[in-house]
Amino acid sequence: MSTLTAYEAETALVGACMLSKSHARRLTQTVPAVMFAKVANRLLWERITQLAAQNAEADLVGLKSALTGEMTDDVAESWIIHCAEFVPSASNAEYYATEVRNAWMRREFQRIGELSGTANFDPMAAMAETRRIATLAENQTPEYGSWSDFIRDGSKAEHSIPTGFTMLDKQQDCSGLALGQTGVVLAGTGAGKTWALLQMAKHASDQGYRVLYGTFADLSAEDLASRIMKISCGYGSKASADRDGRLEDWENAKSYAAISGTLGIYDGSRKRHGGDVMRFLDFIEERQGNKASRYDVIFADYAQKLTSSEVKRGDSYEMADVCAGHVRRFAGEFNLPFWVGSQASMTPEGLLMTKGNRVWEEDAGLVLEIVRYRQKYQKLWQQVPEEIRCEGITRASLRKSRHGRDHVEEWWRFTSRGRFETTGYEAK
């Protein structure tokens, strides 16, 4: 059996206990809800624990009823179904429970290790906390030589949110953009910056994360909803769906776009002072105090449109410094990934030059560059392997990574469905 990430193990355990009342009754006694890192899974596990104590079925109907008033019906049902479909049976429930316990212990030990560097660190209290962790987890601490070995064990995906792009996720020690970090998608006009950000946002939403997508360019919330529909089913408007006879796919995508609880859109393109970075961050902060409305990952499209009243001179360099600083501090304070799209111009050699200050890229934990190759630029076109030359061919480059390998390049294809797909070819 392949190793699961922390979130996958949690989801699998919830799904297994939905399928088996006996497993739910037994495992809710040994795995407390505090061991779940993901809020949605923790909330479901609390309700499964209650239903198991009442000897009731923790199936779709039972959980929806137990969650009344805590999550919107659409969001609750969507995530419950996702958990139920995540596992084919309950036969591996014990294994999932062990993985959840081990992931929780890794997080707890890491927290204690981080506290050791502070002025108020109490070694005796830390020893007591260590004993508490081991006892609560039924003394299932793996046999490692040191705490550092213990912390490094596993994929550490519980400390990140995956992007959905294999090239990015597999190169990161934490399998995605680490919590508390900023990520930048750098691309020229028309290369697919917004499409890439939306694809990542939709992937995160599909995994159950609460996503906020802020648009500050010339794309309205309606434009973005249409693009989300295109990514979902290939059709961005009902007219095109009518012509191709795929109304069912289009209606499903339209319903998905309407689930504002999982993928919300902040329309800064139509508001007065809509691009003000502090107004945007204040809007997010108001919702972070409520577990029913807090976001797990933020997107801002795009960086050069963000402004700040703190800027005195008004030039683009100072503006970038101030805005990037606010975003970086916000991501760290609330411990969430914050993706930003950054506009660039392309040189004849295919190099991207950021418009204004490069501070967004310099401060980021991960930088993805996207360059679209077109046949009219013959010098660049010849760099593409002949067998994969096509409309939409794109060079994707992982230029910077604080949590894994960087300077990795791959050829992607931008499809008619509004999605980037890998060709399987590395770019040299």
The domain ranges of the chain are: 6-152, 159-426
245-259 per-position pLDDT tens digit:
455 555 555 554 444
What pLDDT score was predicted for residue 286? Answer: 84
What gap in Å lies between CA 113 and CA 390, rounded to an integer? 51
What gap in Å lies between CA 300 and CA 280, rounded to an integer? 9
Rg (C-alpha) for the chain, rounded Å, is 23
What pLDDT score was predicted for residue 70? Answer: 56
In this prediction, what percent of the chain has a pLDDT beyond 70? 73
> Could you check whether 6-152 and 159-426 share the same CATH topology?
no
| pLDDT band per the 50, 70, 90 thresholds, residue 299 | very high
What pLDDT score was predicted for residue 233? Answer: 72
pLDDT at 279 over 50: yes
CATH for 159-426 is 3.40.50.300
For the chain, the residue count is: 428
User: Looking at per-residue confidence, does 62 or 273 come out higher?
Assistant: 62
pLDDT at 40 over 70: yes
Mean pLDDT of 308-317: 72
What pLDDT score was predicted for residue 124? Answer: 59
Pairing of β 338-346 and β 352-354? antiparallel
Within its chain, how far is the Cα of 255 from the centroid? 21
Mean pLDDT of 4-15: 83
50-90 per-position pLDDT tens digit:
999 999 988 888 888 887 755 545 556 777 888 888 888 88
In this prediction, what percent of the chain has a pLDDT beyond 90? 18
User: Looking at per-residue confidence, does 287 or 121 come out higher?
Assistant: 287
Joined together, the tokens standing for residue 215 give 């648009």
User: Looking at per-residue confidence, does 243 or 294 come out higher?
Assistant: 294
pLDDT at 12 over 70: yes
Nearest to 103 by CA among 51, 148, 145, 142: 142
What gap in Å lies between CA 217 and CA 372, rounded to an integer? 20
Task: Report yes or no: 394 and 210 within 8 Å, Cβ to Cβ.
Answer: no
What pLDDT score was predicted for residue 321? Answer: 84
Which residue in this structure is represented by tokens 């030359």? 389
What pLDDT score was predicted for residue 243? Answer: 47
111-126 per-position pLDDT tens digit:
665 555 555 556 556 6
Mean pLDDT of 250-275: 62
| pLDDT band per the 50, 70, 90 thresholds, residue 417 | confident
Average pLDDT, whole number, for the chain?
Answer: 77
What pLDDT score was predicted for residue 353? Answer: 64
Residues 6+ apart with CB under 8 A from 209: 161, 262, 296, 297
pLDDT at 8 over 60: yes
List phi, psi (to 5°) of 206: -65, -30
| pLDDT band per the 50, 70, 90 thresholds, residue 143 | very low
What pLDDT score was predicted for residue 49? Answer: 92
| pLDDT band per the 50, 70, 90 thresholds, residue 393 | very high
What pLDDT score was predicted for residue 153? Answer: 33
What gap in Å lies between CA 34 and CA 30, rounded to an integer? 11
What pLDDT score was predicted for residue 356? Answer: 56
What gap in Å lies between CA 321 and CA 417, rounded to an integer? 36
What pLDDT score was predicted for residue 370? Answer: 92
| pLDDT band per the 50, 70, 90 thresholds, residue 376 | confident
Residues 6+ apart with CB under 8 A from 152: none
Range name among 28-42, 130-144, 272-286, 388-402 with the lowest pLDDT average: 130-144
pLDDT at 157 over 50: no
Joined together, the tokens standing for residue 31 give 């795995």
Q: What is the DSSP letter of 178?
A: E
183-231 per-position pLDDT tens digit:
999 998 889 999 999 999 988 887 778 889 998 888 877 788 888 878 8
What pLDDT score was predicted for residue 302? Answer: 81
| pLDDT band per the 50, 70, 90 thresholds, residue 146 | very low
| pLDDT band per the 50, 70, 90 thresholds, residue 409 | very high
Assign domain 6-152 one CATH number from 1.10.860.10, 1.10.3720.10, 1.10.260.40, 2.40.100.10.
1.10.860.10
User: Looking at per-residue confidence, does 247 or 341 come out higher?
Assistant: 341
User: Looking at per-residue confidence, does 159 or 288 come out higher?
Assistant: 288
